[in-house]
Amino acid sequence: MSDITLPTPYAPAAIEPKWRDRWADRGTNHAALDNAARPFYALMMFPYPSAEGLHVGNLFAFTGSDISARFHRLLGYDVFQPLGYDAFGIHSENYALRIGAHPMELTPKNVANFQRQLERAGLMVDWRQKVDTSRPEYYKWTQWVFLQLYRQGLAYKKAAAVNWCPSCKTVLANEQVEGGTCERCGTAVEQRFLEQWFFRISAYAERLLNNLEWLDWSPITKSAQKNWIGRSEGAELSFRVDGQTDTVTVFTTRPDTIFGATYLVLAPEHPLVATVTTEAQRAAVAGYQEATKKQDLISRKSTKEKTGVFTGAYAVNPATGANIPIWIADYVLMEYGTGAIMAVPGHDERDFEFAQLFALPIVRVVAGPDDRADTPLGEVAYTDDAQGRLVNSGTFDGLPVAEAKTAVTAWLAAGGHGTKVTNYRLHDWCISRQRYWGPPIPIIYCDACGTVPVPESQLPVELPFIPDFKPDDSGISPLARHEEWFRVPCPTCGAPARRETDVSDTFLDSAWYFLRYPSATRSDVAFDADRTSRWLPVDSYIGGNEHAVLHLLYSRFVTMVMKDAGHIDFEEPFTRFRAHGMIIREGAKMSKSKGNVINPDVYMEEWGADAFRMYLMFLGPYEEGGDFRDQGISGVRRFLDRLWASVRDARADVPIDANVVRQVHRTIKKVGDDTAGLSYNTAIAAMMECLNHLRSGDRAVHRAEVLPLVQLVAAYAPHFAEECWEMLGHTGSVFDAGWPTFDPAMLVDNEVDLVVQVNGKVRGKLRLAADVTQDAAMAGAMADAGIAKFVVGEIKKVIFVPKRLLNIVV
């Protein structure tokens, strides 16, 4: 028998389960929730557990977040990294409808599958604190959150338009409407008015906007929120209706152009339409209103062709005293501003188009630098407010637009015609869903007592199991078909009463989940005061920018409300937020219809979870995403194989190479900096480069050379690093071993390659001492024949950048 034993190869299939079991047994990933000294809350956006299973995009996001969490742990923080499932909502419900299953049975299966896949990825998640938004233990507190808003007067009910498919006989979310038709049957979608619950997020617009100033968030996310909140300063101006007592109030950001307002436009739904319309125009106006109502909300906003009808009425322009016609048109939206505008066709593109179509007068009241007061406007409106000056505007002639805005507003205000107003694009949050798969809104209607909130002691209002959860033609929730559920005694007077049958929006489930995690096992409170103050606000939140607006804005709003209600002492939930990029394949978004979806299981099986994690991080900058290629993964796997072999074969009785040690110290610095900045791809490249040095020429590797590399790779390839750490003779987890330190003295070079340019062109390189003087460098350059031959004629100038270059200009 041979006494040669083959070296053990890296075998992820064996070591990955071994370490996952050990982590679970030892509670390695559990945070000390009640007594952590240096708490660090690392949060990632929780997934919707789809039936298709974990998407490679999910794993890309989670891995990046996990690396950041593990890195902080190595730096010495007590890291709490929870994860859970956003399991309620229309996605799950529609999928269940499509395959003829029930969401209450389907969801647990999907969650179990996700759980299996996620555990395999080796995330440092404290699974004790897992949440599932569709479980009564969780949504009891979602309902409690609703009640907190209700108590503060921030939840109210009003009639609002919804998309309605007359064929499917159901309410559709905006995302289910494609080009004005139902995504399922293709029927043209209409709008219906239904009583719905709203949250008064608009009251928080200013605060939501102002706090963006100091939040440490990805700039793209901040700008998306800023645009969404859409603050605009302007004025509300009143126009008296000629011959009537009514006045029309309009909102405008260009009060300076009032002398050019040649007509008014009301939204078709505007309440004044009924009173101002003349007898002669009544039929035309009613017809137009009817036609508008038939259109869905989306197509109304995307059709650019202007339409409208004259009401027959006139209003008085307070600046000019002229009578101007009042029209209705669907390009004016009831939900923004006052639902009415003053039209200034000379200086607004939409008004210009409308005025041309209906032959309404177009007047110039702003002139550009090259225009005179009587220069015709031509084919387009003049909208430049940076360079324009007023003309044809009485005493305001000559004023620049910015000054005129203030001056005109003050003048109109003095005459009782208007006030300065700030408007927001942000509208109140409609949380009602006439659907089944969500938390019932905890409200009871009593004929005697009116709207009664469900007492907290009676929470949760459990979602009943009903087989027929499909929405029907009534336009009200499926729960309304179940009398045994919705008929309840009034909590106040005991008389027969009815439950609210709408469920709340999925976005409410996710607007407070970060508050729940540390207290997930508590059944007596939504969130424990001590734990919350210890762990929140979240130190690092990582997620997709598709949630830049809704989820992140709603979470901020709910947090502010919780603070105002006295439940917490901070008002911003996420101190730091970073948006990751998207994984595409062959230049296209991954989707089932394109057949380019990656199943992570297959790759983890073939290459190991660690290699797969590392490959996802290596394929491009984390904050930009990248293109998934099958071949690329072999490179990181080879790196792990080689690092493995180096650890396995490392010795303590071979010389340590000073240059290798320098390289290791540089790599510690670079990987630390890059990991902190989420530059995972370059951190991995640096580790590869270092290993190449370490092994170059098949040299014997010293234990001390390779040991820090195991610590550096740990956040990226956790199972792998644990096994290597054990091979190096340690018994504890590598994640409790800390982050290696580097010696700053090791980072500086004594000698550098100085680039020598002549007239900006590289002509040579000199190996010189780092602190060489310009004169010495110059002497060195002139001594080099290859450089000197380009230095012909008089030397006009010499640029010397120490340690970098010498440029000789002749």
Partner RNA sequence: ACCCGGAUGGCGAAAUCGGUAGACGCGAGGGACUUAAAAUCCCUGGAUCGCAAGGUCGUGUGGGUUCGAGUCCCACUCCGGGUACCA
> Which residues within the stretch 417-436 sit at the binding site for RNA (CB under 7 A)?
423, 425
> Could you tell me the smallest distance in angstroms from the CB atom of residue 257 to RNA?
9
> Could you tell me the smallest distance in angstroms from the CB atom of residue 787 to RNA?
9
Backbone angles phi, psi at 768, to 5 degrees: -135, 165
Binding segment toward RNA, per CB under 7 A, in 26-34, 429-437, 678-686, 722-730: 678-686
> Could you tell me the smallest distance in angstroms from the CB atom of residue 116 to RNA?
29
Binding segment toward RNA, per CB under 7 A, in 26-34, 204-212, 733-741, 801-809: 801-809
> Could you tell me the smallest distance in angstroms from the CB atom of residue 424 to RNA?
8
Report the sign of the C-alpha dihedral through residues 97, 98, 99, 100, in that order: positive
- Local structure of 533: helix, strand or coil: helix
Burial degree of 181 (CB within 10 A; 0-12, 13-18, 19+): middle
339 vs 442 by CB, closer to RNA: 339
Report which of 578, 603, 556 is spatially closest to residue 65, judged by C-alpha positions: 578
Place of tokens 């049957």: 185
Q: Which of 301, 387, 402, 489 binds RNA (CB under 7 A)?
A: 301
> Could you tell me the smallest distance in angstroms from the CB atom of residue 688 to RNA?
4
Amino acid, res. 331: Y
305 vs 484 by CB, closer to RNA: 305
H or E element: which one contains 323?
strand 323-328
Cα separation, 80 vs 619, in Å, equals: 28
Is residue 801 at the binding interface for RNA, with CB under 7 A as the rule?
yes
Question: In this structure, how many other beta carbons lie within 10 angstroms of the beta carbon of residue 90?
Answer: 18
Is residue 517 at the binding interface for RNA, with CB under 7 A as the rule?
no
Strand partners, 239: 248
86 vs 674 by CB, closer to RNA: 674
Q: Which of 284, 286, 769, 805 binds RNA (CB under 7 A)?
A: 805
Is residue 700 at the binding interface for RNA, with CB under 7 A as the rule?
no
Cβ-contact 478, 470 below 8 angstroms: yes
148 vs 667 by CB, closer to RNA: 667
Q: Which of 106, 315, 328, 341 binds RNA (CB under 7 A)?
A: 341
Is residue 56 at the binding interface for RNA, with CB under 7 A as the rule?
no
Cβ-contact 404, 54 below 8 angstroms: no
Positions 551 through 590 that interact with RNA (CB under 7 A): 589
The verdict on whether omega for the bond into residue 537 sits within 30 degrees of 0, i.e. cis, is yes
Positions 253 through 282 that interact with RNA (CB under 7 A): 253-254, 267
> Could you tell me the smallest distance in angstroms from the CB atom of residue 204 to RNA?
17
> Could you tell me the smallest distance in angstroms from the CB atom of residue 588 to RNA?
8
Is residue 506 at the binding interface for RNA, with CB under 7 A as the rule?
no
Strand partners, 197: 157
Q: Please give the structure tokens belonging to residue 746.
A: 């090791």
Cβ-contact 145, 555 below 8 angstroms: no
> Could you tell me the smallest distance in angstroms from the CB atom of residue 465 to RNA?
34
Positions 310 through 329 that interact with RNA (CB under 7 A): none
Is residue 230 at the binding interface for RNA, with CB under 7 A as the rule?
yes
Provide DSSP, 613-664. HHHHHHSS-TTTEEE--STTHHHHHHHHHHHHHHHHH-BSSSPPPHHHHHHH
453 vs 600 by CB, closer to RNA: 600
Is residue 383 at the binding interface for RNA, with CB under 7 A as the rule?
no
* Cα 784 from chain centre: 57
103 vs 780 by CB, closer to RNA: 780
Positions 164 through 223 that interact with RNA (CB under 7 A): 219-220, 223
> Could you tell me the smallest distance in angstroms from the CB atom of residue 226 to RNA?
8
Binding segment toward RNA, per CB under 7 A, in 37-45, 690-698, 703-711, 721-729: 690-698
118 vs 261 by CB, closer to RNA: 261
Is residue 348 at the binding interface for RNA, with CB under 7 A as the rule?
yes
Positions 70 through 89 that interact with RNA (CB under 7 A): none
97 vs 584 by CB, closer to RNA: 584
Is residue 807 at the binding interface for RNA, with CB under 7 A as the rule?
yes
Place of tokens 């593109």: 349
Q: Which of 376, 697, 729, 793 binds RNA (CB under 7 A)?
A: 697
CB neighbours of 518 closer than 8 A, spacing ≥ 6? Answer: 33, 41, 80, 82, 129, 527, 528, 531, 532, 534, 535, 536
524 vs 698 by CB, closer to RNA: 698
* Cα 550 from chain centre: 8
Positions 721 through 780 that interact with RNA (CB under 7 A): 753, 755, 757, 759-763, 765
Report which of 540, 513, 621 is spatially closest to residue 83, judged by C-alpha positions: 513
Cβ-contact 562, 515 below 8 angstroms: yes
104 vs 273 by CB, closer to RNA: 273
Q: Which of 4, 25, 304, 744 binds RNA (CB under 7 A)?
A: 304
Positions 597 through 656 that interact with RNA (CB under 7 A): 618-621, 624, 626-627, 629, 631-632, 634-636, 638-639, 641-642, 645
> Could you tell me the smallest distance in angstroms from the CB atom of residue 607 to RNA?
12
Binding segment toward RNA, per CB under 7 A, in 67-75, 680-688, 706-714, 741-749: 680-688
Provide DSSP, 5-59. PPPPPP-HHHHHHHHHHHHHHHTTT---TTT-SSEEEEEEPPPP--TT---HHHH
> Site for RNA (CB under 7 A): how many residues?
91
Backbone angles phi, psi at 730, to 5 degrees: -95, 155
> Could you tell me the smallest distance in angstroms from the CB atom of residue 663 to RNA?
11
Is residue 713 at the binding interface for RNA, with CB under 7 A as the rule?
no
Q: In b/e form, how buried is each residue of 140-157, taking b as 16+ CB within 10 angstroms? A: bbbbbbbbbbbeeebbee
> Could you tell me the smallest distance in angstroms from the CB atom of residue 265 to RNA?
8
> Could you tell me the smallest distance in angstroms from the CB atom of residue 359 to RNA?
18
> Could you tell me the smallest distance in angstroms from the CB atom of residue 306 to RNA?
6
Q: Which of 212, 377, 466, 549 binds RNA (CB under 7 A)?
A: 549
Is residue 698 at the binding interface for RNA, with CB under 7 A as the rule?
yes
> Could you tell me the smallest distance in angstroms from the CB atom of residue 630 to RNA?
8
CB neighbours of 522 closer than 8 A, spacing ≥ 6? Answer: 528
Cβ-contact 250, 258 below 8 angstroms: no
Report which of 532, 544, 606 is spatially closest to residue 579, judged by C-alpha positions: 544
Cα separation, 260 vs 320, in Å, equals: 9
Q: Which of 205, 258, 536, 684 binds RNA (CB under 7 A)?
A: 684
Positions 518 through 547 that interact with RNA (CB under 7 A): 545-546
Cα separation, 741 vs 146, in Å, equals: 49
